[in-house]
Chain A
Amino acid sequence: MRLGGPVCATPTPGPSPQAGGKERGVSDDGLRAGRVDPRRPAGEGGGKAEAPGIWPDAVLAARLLATDPHGFGGTVVRAAPGPVRERWLDLLRAALPPGAPWRRLPPGIGDESLLGGLDLAATLSAGTPVARAGLLAEADGGLIVVPMAERLPPGIAARLAAALDTGTASERGARFGLVLLDEGEGDETVAEALADHLAFRIDLSGLGSAEAARDGAGAEAGSGPAAPDPVGTLCAVAEALGVASLRGPILAARVARALAADRPVGDVEIAAAGRLVLAPRATRLPAPQEDGPEEADAPPADDRPAEDAADPAEGGPSDDVVLEAVRAAIPPKLLDQLLAGGARLSAAKAGRVGQPAASRTGRPVGSRRGDPRRGRLDLLATLRAAAPWQALRRGPEEARRIVVRRDDLRIRILRQRTETTTVFCVDASGSAALERLAEAKGAVELLLAEAYVRRDRVALVAFRGGGAELVLPPTRSLTRAKRGLSGLPGGGGTPLAAGIDAALTVALGVRRSGSRPVIVLLTDGRANVARSGEGGRARAGAEALQAARTLRAAGLPALVIDTGARGEGARAVAEAMAARYLPLPRADAELLSAAVRAAL
């Protein structure tokens, strides 16, 4: 796939390929004059392809959202905290009809406060049940702002999604919209399961406060002729962008209708809806338009796989116009991501396990003070805590036999067996590696098949040529693993240091998420590519040893499987990382998985 000018305009700081995906903070760097807005095709792309820009679109989304919070579901706002985000939130809040609720979701909120139910403190002091509405019901008709949405626990995300679906929470009306403030860095993003329900996704990161100071364009005042088939066009655009979920086009149709208000929906509205709703969800690029001066007449879908080659004609010329307008609004980071060939990793997040301390299941190992709505009541411990105070608490008019205060409540501490994540770090270099790679793939699949029973996870990092790549993010899914593994190429030099670095990053992430990482490194230890991507055996070897020592310092358990015939290099690396060392030059998948199992 050839990519046009917009990609080249994206600044790529840092020498390593990973740095391209990193966030630029929303500091005032953006104020520097002459910064090229990467989404603008620098003039020559043709007037019709020009998107109004990030900020005006963000303002437009805010206005739309304020008119019907529940209908549009809400928005994801990706931005670091700062003046730009605050300004956008102020605009949104000002656009809301007067009296519409505006709530903030406190982190670590419990079910009772979220969905409504018993007010525990009031109930205990009154001795009779005191009910209260939950936050969702309180926000009926308004918006809920969710700070740090990228860290939203899956349970809360699921409840929010369910309430968005039904418009109710605990049988009370809860027709609210969500503003998910995504402050994630790099690959950290909001759970897709929830974001899919929301119409808009705004990326304000990298936007300077000067740009945000403008009031934004007025609402798209389209006066063009009515489009013949708005729904068809939006579906065609969604298809061209690889938007699989049908919520995308459905929400886009809603947005187009709202923009048109009483008039029939025209191309302007459709283009705006595509920009706001569909472009941020794109998972592939539509076939590129030529950026040259001559007008590109080719239907935009021609280069796509044959499965859907028939459709562009039926939508008529307005499809092209809209698709081109939407294409200009595709986030630049997506281009980087697609260019790098990296899959969107955020999907795996939904399954992230919580910290073991917050475990809700497992073996009881004592009790602690806490709210029984968020854990399991330990009745004995509660009564024991309340007992010494009974004489004091039982006043003359107190009819209750036992007076329990909130401070007395004890809940059980549960400890769960922590799962293990095996991070395979596989040397995919050179011609001989092809075979080793197949073995490693087989071993990963076999281990994964067993992991069902133990609920363990597997990840795979491969290194070859100029660097390392996360082929398989930590997963328990065989489907996903198969897909990731089947596309793994081999060949090239041996950037051992980069491979160990990548495995370390993955393992640390795994440890942060509460699981136990184990690294399995398959290599012959003959590093010949340095971190910088340059050749040179001596430097590459020194760097590999240094990376290995970093791994040891991080205290990660590791296993090195030497696939070379006469490997001294692998043994040295194993010693540097204090790993177990297994020379297995002729291992097949079965033997390999057995060895790993035995070693761990």
Chain B
Amino acid sequence: MPTFPFSAIVAQDEMRQALLIAAVDPSIGGVLVFGDRGTGKSTAIRALAALLPPMRAVAGCPYNCDPDSPAESCPHCASAPGPRKSHRKPVPVVDLPLGATEDRVVGTLDLERALGAGVKAFEPGLLARANRGFLYIDEVNLLEDHLVDLLLDVAASGVNTVEREGLSLRHPAKFVLVGSGNPEEGELRPQLLDRFGLACEVATPKDIATRIAVVRARDAYERDPEGFCAARARDETAIRKRILLARERLPSLAVPDSALERAAQLCLALGTDGLRGELTLMRTARALAALDGAEAVTDDHIRRVAPAALRHRLRRNPLDESGSTARVERAVAEVFS
């Protein structure tokens, strides 16, 4: 059965925009999706991955290295230089289940080879499988803190460093980290929140028309998956082209000083700690400009990404009733007035 198409997802504009931005520039550092159950979080991520063109990967490389430019840190490709066989495989979406052990995530000593043959070998974990793809964590707020910490660290650096059980190695682990969860069941510590690049809030659509549209789309898809996807093939191609073009355009896109100034003003007005807010805001606006096909980053781009890039970086005041989204919007209105 083909995956539910990305273009057929109804509403949830902010989440879709955030995912597209992360697909264009994975260095933004992960997307956090907080909200109700059954709002299409997991559907959107799988749909996006399925929409991306299959990637070429070195055959037999557990880290999905690109045959043209294998990662420097790849232990597999570095040990066997020269021409490499390659094959095409879909962009991976790796699910990180709640309660996964650190061993399974990071990788560990290959037990069977260690005990069977006395060889010290590395058994790659989920991070290796997610290289060049997506790592999806449902209920990230319930994940143990040290694992979240580790994941964010790897996501930011793109390299997984393993120092355990007498093993010492590094391997590439570049992926788009997508975490989701329901704040009613526990929240992430602010220190961790801040390290996610973008944060969006999703809610079940409240108006009945949108709800009907969602259920109807799903119903049509289930009746005839192939036909449903075929009918949307053109839209899917358009989105795919948009992403690929944006990726090409990204390095050459200009960020004028005025835009940087705006970003700084905005962060000052909100009192965000550190410079991570400005950096993410700038990168996100650039990726959005690339998606739009714009020549340079404008105020409009900044305004559109500001809530997602900043809302989780605000100092929390437990007695302040107004939500962080409202505070960002207020600041945006002030700065851009």
Q: Give chain A's interface residues, CB within 8 Å of chain B.
A: 111, 118, 120, 123-124, 127-129, 153-159, 161-162, 165-167, 192-193, 196, 231-232, 234-236, 238-239, 244-250, 253-254, 257, 307-308, 311, 314, 347-348, 350-351, 360-361, 372, 374-377, 379, 400-402, 404, 442, 445-446, 448-449, 452-453, 455, 475-480, 482
Q: B153 at interface (Cβ–Cβ under 8 A)?
A: no
Q: B279 at interface (Cβ–Cβ under 8 A)?
A: no
B219 touches A477 (CB 8 A): no
When A192-B37, A245-B204, A308-B207 are in contact, do A449 and B215 touch as well, CB less than 8 Å? no
Question: Could you say which residues of chain A place their CB within 8 Å of the CB of B211?
Answer: 235, 238-239, 246, 249
A153 touches B99 (CB 8 A): yes
When A253-B219, A442-B319 are in contact, do A307 and B142 touch as well, CB less than 8 Å? no
When A246-B39, A307-B206, A311-B208 are in contact, do A129 and B112 touch as well, CB less than 8 Å? yes
When A165-B42, A246-B38 are in contact, do A158 and B185 touch as well, CB less than 8 Å? no
Q: Other than the known A448-B318, A477-B187, what 12 A-B pairs have Cβ atoms closer than 8 Å? A: A127-B117, A154-B99, A244-B37, A244-B204, A245-B39, A246-B211, A347-B185, A361-B102, A400-B117, A475-B186, A477-B183, A478-B316
B residues 6-42 in Cβ contact with A at 8 Å: 36-40, 42
The 5 sampled A-B contact pairs (Cβ below 8 Å) are A158-B99, A254-B222, A360-B99, A361-B102, A453-B189
B112 touches A118 (CB 8 A): yes
* Nearest chain B CB to A73 CB, angstrom units: 12
B99 touches A455 (CB 8 A): no
Q: B226 at interface (Cβ–Cβ under 8 A)?
A: no
* Nearest chain B CB to A320 CB, angstrom units: 15
The 6 nearest A-B residue pairs measured at CB: A155-B99, A245-B38, A158-B98, A449-B318, A247-B38, A311-B208
Question: Could you say which residues of chain B place their CB within 8 Å of the CB of A377?
Answer: 108-109, 111, 165
When A128-B116, A250-B218 are in contact, do A452 and B184 touch as well, CB less than 8 Å? no
A235 touches B38 (CB 8 A): no
B318 touches A478 (CB 8 A): yes
* Nearest chain A CB to B123 CB, angstrom units: 10
- Please measure, in the bound complex, the distance between the C-alpha atom of A455 and the C-alpha atom of B189, giving whole angstroms: 8
Query: How big is chain B's contact interface, by range?
Result: 35 or more
Q: Which of B37, B115, B139, B190 contacts A124 (CB 8 A)?
A: B115
Which residue of A has the minimal Cβ distance to B183?
A479
* Most chain A CB within a 10 A radius of its CB, from B114, B115, B116: B115
B residues 75-124 in Cβ contact with A at 8 Å: 95, 97-104, 108-109, 111-112, 114-118
A351 touches B38 (CB 8 A): no
State the main secondary structure of chain A at its contact with B.
helix
When A245-B36, A350-B185, A445-B318 are in contact, do A162 and B115 touch as well, CB less than 8 Å? no
* Most chain B CB within a 10 A radius of its CB, from A154, A231, A307, A448: A231
- Please measure, in the bound complex, the distance between the C-alpha atom of A248 and the C-alpha atom of B186, giving whole angstroms: 24
Question: Could you say which residues of chain B place their CB within 8 Å of the CB of A153?
Answer: 99
A235 touches B185 (CB 8 A): no
Question: Could you say which residues of chain B place their CB within 8 Å of the CB of A379?
Answer: 109, 114, 165-166
A234 touches B215 (CB 8 A): yes
- Please measure, in the bound complex, the distance between the C-alpha atom of A355 and the C-alpha atom of B99, giving whole angstroms: 13
Q: B214 at interface (Cβ–Cβ under 8 A)?
A: yes
Question: Could you say which residues of chain B place their CB within 8 Å of the CB of A314?
Answer: 208
B38 touches A477 (CB 8 A): no
B190 touches A348 (CB 8 A): no
A247 touches B37 (CB 8 A): yes
- Please measure, in the bound complex, the distance between the C-alpha atom of A445 and the C-alpha atom of B37, giving whole angstroms: 26
Question: Could you say which residues of chain B place their CB within 8 Å of the CB of A361?
Answer: 102, 144, 146-147
A446 touches B318 (CB 8 A): yes
Q: B234 at interface (Cβ–Cβ under 8 A)?
A: no
Which residue of A has the minimal Cβ distance to B123?
A118
B212 touches A250 (CB 8 A): no
Question: Could you say which residues of chain A place their CB within 8 Å of the CB of B72?
Answer: none
Question: Could you say which residues of chain A place their CB within 8 Å of the CB of B115?
Answer: 124, 402, 404
B residues 171-228 in Cβ contact with A at 8 Å: 182-187, 189-190, 204-208, 211-212, 214-216, 218-219, 222-223
Question: Could you say which residues of chain B place their CB within 8 Å of the CB of A159?
Answer: 97-99
Q: Give chain B's interface residues, CB within 8 Å of chain A.
A: 1, 36-40, 42, 46, 95, 97-104, 108-109, 111-112, 114-118, 138-139, 141-142, 144-147, 165-166, 182-187, 189-190, 204-208, 211-212, 214-216, 218-219, 222-223, 316, 318-319, 321
Which residue of B has the minimal Cβ distance to A311?
B208
Q: Which of B109, B139, B185, B208 contacts A239 (CB 8 A)?
A: B208
Q: Which of B38, B95, B116 contacts A166 (CB 8 A)?
A: B95
When A158-B138, A372-B111 are in contact, do A111 and B38 touch as well, CB less than 8 Å? no
Question: Could you say which residues of chain A place their CB within 8 Å of the CB of B37?
Answer: 192-193, 196, 244-245, 247
- Please measure, in the bound complex, the distance between the C-alpha atom of A155 and the C-alpha atom of B98, giving whole angstroms: 5
A347 touches B208 (CB 8 A): no
B112 touches A123 (CB 8 A): yes
* Nearest chain A CB to B10 CB, angstrom units: 10
Which residue of B has the minimal Cβ distance to A383?
B115
Question: Could you say which residues of chain A place their CB within 8 Å of the CB of B146?
Answer: 361
A158 touches B206 (CB 8 A): no
Q: Which of A162, A374, A476 contacts B95 (CB 8 A)?
A: A162
- Please measure, in the bound complex, the distance between the C-alpha atom of A479 and the C-alpha atom of B184, giving whole angstroms: 6
* Most chain A CB within a 10 A radius of its CB, from B1, B185, B186, B222: B185
Q: Which of A193, A235, A348, A452 contacts B212 (CB 8 A)?
A: A235
- Please measure, in the bound complex, the distance between the C-alpha atom of A238 and the C-alpha atom of B115, giving whole angstroms: 56
- Please measure, in the bound complex, the distance between the C-alpha atom of A239 and the C-alpha atom of B211, giving whole angstroms: 9
* Nearest chain B CB to A228 CB, angstrom units: 13
* Most chain A CB within a 10 A radius of its CB, from B37, B109, B117: B37
Question: Could you say which residues of chain B place their CB within 8 Å of the CB of A156?
Answer: 99
- Please measure, in the bound complex, the distance between the C-alpha atom of A452 and the C-alpha atom of B193, giving whole angstroms: 12
A376 touches B101 (CB 8 A): yes
* Nearest chain B CB to A462 CB, angstrom units: 19
- Please measure, in the bound complex, the distance between the C-alpha atom of A154 and the C-alpha atom of B97, giving whole angstroms: 10
B112 touches A158 (CB 8 A): no
* Nearest chain B CB to A383 CB, angstrom units: 10
A250 touches B186 (CB 8 A): no
A445 touches B319 (CB 8 A): yes
Q: Which of B97, B142, B165 contacts A350 (CB 8 A)?
A: B142
B144 touches A235 (CB 8 A): no
Question: Could you say which residues of chain B place their CB within 8 Å of the CB of A129?
Answer: 112, 116
Question: Could you say which residues of chain B place their CB within 8 Å of the CB of A311?
Answer: 208
Question: Could you say which residues of chain B place their CB within 8 Å of the CB of A111?
Answer: 104
* Nearest chain A CB to B46 CB, angstrom units: 8
* Nearest chain B CB to A246 CB, angstrom units: 5
Question: Could you say which residues of chain A place their CB within 8 Å of the CB of B316?
Answer: 449, 478
- Please measure, in the bound complex, the distance between the C-alpha atom of A238 and the C-alpha atom of B215, giving whole angstroms: 11
- Please measure, in the bound complex, the distance between the C-alpha atom of A402 and the C-alpha atom of B119, giving whole angstroms: 11
Question: Could you say which residues of chain B place their CB within 8 Å of the CB of A154?
Answer: 98-99, 139, 142
Question: Could you say which residues of chain B place their CB within 8 Å of the CB of A238?
Answer: 211
- Please measure, in the bound complex, the distance between the C-alpha atom of A156 and the C-alpha atom of B98, giving whole angstroms: 8
Q: Which of B118, B183, B187, B207 contacts A402 (CB 8 A)?
A: B118
Question: Could you say which residues of chain B place their CB within 8 Å of the CB of A449?
Answer: 316, 318
- Please measure, in the bound complex, the distance between the C-alpha atom of A463 and the C-alpha atom of B222, giving whole angstroms: 51
Which residue of B has the minimal Cβ distance to A447?
B318
* Nearest chain B CB to A407 CB, angstrom units: 13
* Nearest chain B CB to A13 CB, angstrom units: 32
When A377-B165, A402-B118, A404-B115 are in contact, do A477 and B208 touch as well, CB less than 8 Å? no
B36 touches A231 (CB 8 A): no
- Please measure, in the bound complex, the distance between the C-alpha atom of A92 and the C-alpha atom of B95, giving whole angstroms: 31
- Please measure, in the bound complex, the distance between the C-alpha atom of A235 and the C-alpha atom of B214, giving whole angstroms: 10
When A246-B211, A250-B218 are in contact, do A158 and B190 touch as well, CB less than 8 Å? no
- Please measure, in the bound complex, the distance between the C-alpha atom of A216 and the C-alpha atom of B321, giving whole angstroms: 53
* Nearest chain A CB to B99 CB, angstrom units: 2
* Most chain B CB within a 10 A radius of its CB, from A155, A196, A351, A374: A351
* Nearest chain A CB to B278 CB, angstrom units: 24
A452 touches B189 (CB 8 A): yes
